[in-house]
Structure formats: structure tokens, C-alpha cells
Amino acid sequence: MRLNTDQLIETFHSYATPRHDWLVGGEFERAVVRPDGQPIGYFEPDGIGWVLKELAKDESWTPHYEGENIIALHRADMANITLEPGGQVELSGAPHRSLSALADEMQANRRALLDLSSGKDHVWIAAGLTPIAPIAQIPWVPKGRYGIMKRYLPQRGDLAAYMMKGTCSVQANYDFSSEADCARKVRLASGLAPLTTALFANSPLLENKPTGFKSYRGHIWTRTDPDRTGFPPGLRNDFSFERWLDYLLDAPMMFRVQDGDWVPAHGIPFRTFMEQGIDGHFPGAADWDLHQTSVFPEVRIKRTIEIRGADCVDHEMALAFCALFTGMLYCNIALDEGLELVAELERGGTHSERFDAAARHGLDAVVAGRSLADWAADLGAIAERGLKACLPDDLDKITPLLARIDDGRSPADDLMDAWTSDPSPENIIAACAY
């Protein structure tokens, strides 16, 4: 049976989950470089392909190949390890009932990566943007979709290659109980994007020079592809599954899979593929699932609400990102208070202006007459109360973020201090070692 809009809207409704079954998941991207910051390619003897092969020796992981190249690992509990275009290694964790379980999974993966690097010329780094290597020198991962993306996206944005090959982030995934609940959570998460960008800013350097931004990764996303980044106009305040579906259907396709091969889609909207077909082919469920992975908004709604707006940070801060939104989204009082905070924050210019200020200046940015550090203090207090209400045994997981809020410093400030003290590549890589 062909896909149709009623069916797809009903699919989003089917993802609603009773409150007592809500889970939390995390996604953690990390880059591995030489001690002087130079990149490590896929095909090197101890390169990215080798990393996946070594991780696959744990038999709980099932390797996935394209041709002869291992490109991902999958586990029965729904966890995955995948590769970004420049060889960044991402753990997409399993869904968990507690932040402590999420932390255990993340730490086990971190230990596995660090064990692999022991005795090797490897350093895993926690940074939103690779700080030393020129982007052009980072080799591409041999994945079919990336071969198409590297041709398509630079036509849409002049920093698209920087996004693909140089950036890393942390993301968190949350359940919703209904369309209305999803709308409230989307409103909160998308409205907080400038503030969370500032809080977790950790990409001030490129080719070992200051970029003028605390989160250059955040800025890069504004120059990648306006059709699939940011957030759909009008949906922050008026979200519905139907309007979200319209956004996805009208998003240009970069690629599709036909007879097992990756083929360019040349920007044809998915709606056209669904209604008219391409060369006699019409999409199935797998095509729809694939298309949804090719849009990159600040908040993405699939089976869960994916919150995507933070630079890669150290393991404690990465977990604090998950804790922050757990407290905000899984406690109704905190969600109400958070929505009030967003409404006040939005009095300070347009969303683009707030986001640019946050990316440039971090917590020093001034929005609606207050520094983002001041706004962050309000946010931290709300999130702490919310987490205490919904997962009191995990309250310690937000502590590293609250400490940073008290200091008024994002991770980018620490990295810039290290650069000012000693700008040698080796010192910079040591300063952001994972």
C-alpha cells in the first residue's frame, strides 16, 4: 500500500507513550585525532574502520557493512554506534528509565574508546568543532549517503562541509503522551535553543585560531542548508503533527535507496516522491524513515522528541545536558515554568538574533536586557526542581551544569583560557581530551 498523509499523521499519534513508560536516551558524538590535532582517516591501519572492527569484538554488537566497509554497529537493546562524515563516532544509546542507567551506558562506551586509544597515537576529544585540522584535510567516511551529501549540501550553504566533517554534538531524546504534550515540549526545547547553545558552547577555535564565536558549531548550522536546519517557521508556537508532516513532506530529498544503491534525489520534495513517484518507484516505510534522518532542525520529532542543540562537551556535561531536559520535560510544573521563561526570553529580538548572540558571546550575550548567564540561573533552578520531582535519585547528574551556571562560564571559556596560556596544538588537544 502506498504511503499517504493520513497514515503518516496517525503514525505520529501512535508514538504517544503513557507517562509511566517515559524513557530518556542520549546521543554522543566524539572525534578522534592525533595528539597534534591532525585527523585520522577511515582506512588507516589504526583508523576509524579499525575502531569499529575492534568495538565489534564485543559480541553484543552486530556490525553493518556497505560493501566491504564496516560503517555501523547495532545492539538488540536499540543502541547503535554510527559514523558521521568526517569519522566522528556516535553512540546512539538505548532508551533508559533513569539517568543513572544512561550514564552507565555512556561510561562503558567511553571506557571502550579510551581502552582502544591506549598505546595508540589517538586522542578522543570533546569539542563542538575539531580545533586544529583544516576541514579540507579530514577524509570522508565511505558511506553512500555521504558521497551524495558532500555534493548536494555545499550548494545550499558555504559551511556545509564544516558541519559534516568537523562538528560534534550531544543530543537527548524524550517521550510524549499526546500531540498536545508534544507541542508543549517542542515549544520549550526550540525556544530554549539560544540559551542551551550558550550554556554548552564549546567550539571557539578553528585551525587553532579564535573564530570570534563561543559556539562556531552553532554558527556553522546557520550556513548549512536553510531547507533542513533551524526550525520550521511558525511551528514554535503552533505545532501539530499535521504541520510537522507538511514540513517533512516539502523538505527536498538529498538521496534515496533504489535496488540497494544510493542514488541522488536532486532536491525533489518527498511529497512529490509519494504522490507522483520517481522513475516509476514510490516510497515505502523505509524510504520515509530514511528521509526523516536527512532533516536537521534544532528539535526533531520522530518516535521521540530529539533535542539537538548542544556542542560536544565532556562526559559529565553531556550527561548534564540530558539531565537538564529530563527535569524540564518530565515534570509538568517545570515545563510550565520553562514555557514562561521562554516567553520572557523571546522579548529579546528575533530567534535568529538571539541564536547569533548566543553563538558569538556564549553566556556573556545580552538578551532582553539580561545576560544569558542570568537567564541560565533561572533555567538551572527550574530544571533542578523538575529533576528532583521526577527522578530524585538522579539529581547529582545535573550538578556539573549548575556549577558552570554559578561560574557564568561555558566550556568554550576554558578552552580559550588554555589557548591563551599555550596555543600549541598539543596543549589544545590535551585541554579538550575526552
100-149 pLDDT per residue, tens: 999 999 999 999 999 999 999 999 999 999 999 999 999 999 999 999 99
Q: Phi and psi (nearest 5°) for 256? A: -150, 170
- Does 159 have pLDDT greater than 80? yes
pLDDT, position 339: 98
Task: Name the nearest CA neighbour of 177 among 61, 329, 383, 54.
Answer: 329
Average pLDDT for residues 67-85, to the nearest whole number? Answer: 97
pLDDT, position 309: 79
- Does 233 have pLDDT greater than 90? no
What are 280-330's pLDDT values in tens digits? Answer: 999 999 999 999 999 999 999 999 999 997 999 999 999 999 999 999 999
Run of H or E residues at 271: helix 270-276
pLDDT, position 130: 98
- The pairing of beta strand 69-75 with beta strand 80-83: antiparallel
Average pLDDT for residues 379-399, to the nearest whole number? Answer: 98
Average pLDDT for residues 345-368, to the nearest whole number? Answer: 97
Task: Name the nearest CA neighbour of 325 among 180, 178, 200.
Answer: 200
Q: Residue 92's pLDDT band (boundaries 50, 70, 90)? A: very high
Longest dimension (CA), the chain: 63
Which residues are 210's β-sheet partners?
205
Alpha helix (H) residue ranges in 5-98: 5-14, 48-55
Average pLDDT for residues 231-235, to the nearest whole number? Answer: 89
Q: Which residues, at least 6 apart from 30, have a Cβ–Cβ distance to it below 8 Å?
A: 88, 89, 90, 113, 124, 125, 126, 168, 312, 434
CB 34, CB 123: distance < 8 Å:
yes
Task: Name the nearest CA neighbour of 83 among 66, 58, 102.
Answer: 66
CB 105, CB 29: distance < 8 Å:
no
* DSSP-based three-state secondary structure for 75: strand
Can you tell me the distance from the alpha carbon of 275 to that of 250, in angstroms, rounded to the nearest whole number? 12
CB 361, CB 414: distance < 8 Å:
no
- Return the residue matching grid coordinates 591506549: 118
Q: For the chain, what is the mean pLDDT?
A: 97
**Tally of CB atoms within 10 A around 426:** 14
pTM of the entire predicted model: 0.97
Can you tell me the distance from the alpha carbon of 385 to that of 377, in angstroms, rounded to the nearest whole number? 13
Alpha helix (H) residue ranges in 56-122: 99-117
CA distances from 244 to 9, 234, 256, 375, 417 (A): 9, 10, 21, 29, 42
CB 283, CB 270: distance < 8 Å:
yes
Give me the torsion for CA of 173, 178, 181, 185, rounded to 10°.
Answer: 20
Q: Residue 161's pLDDT band (boundaries 50, 70, 90)? A: very high
CB 292, CB 248: distance < 8 Å:
yes
Which residues are 203's β-sheet partners?
215
**Tally of CB atoms within 10 A around 223:** 15
Average pLDDT for residues 382-408, to the nearest whole number? Answer: 98
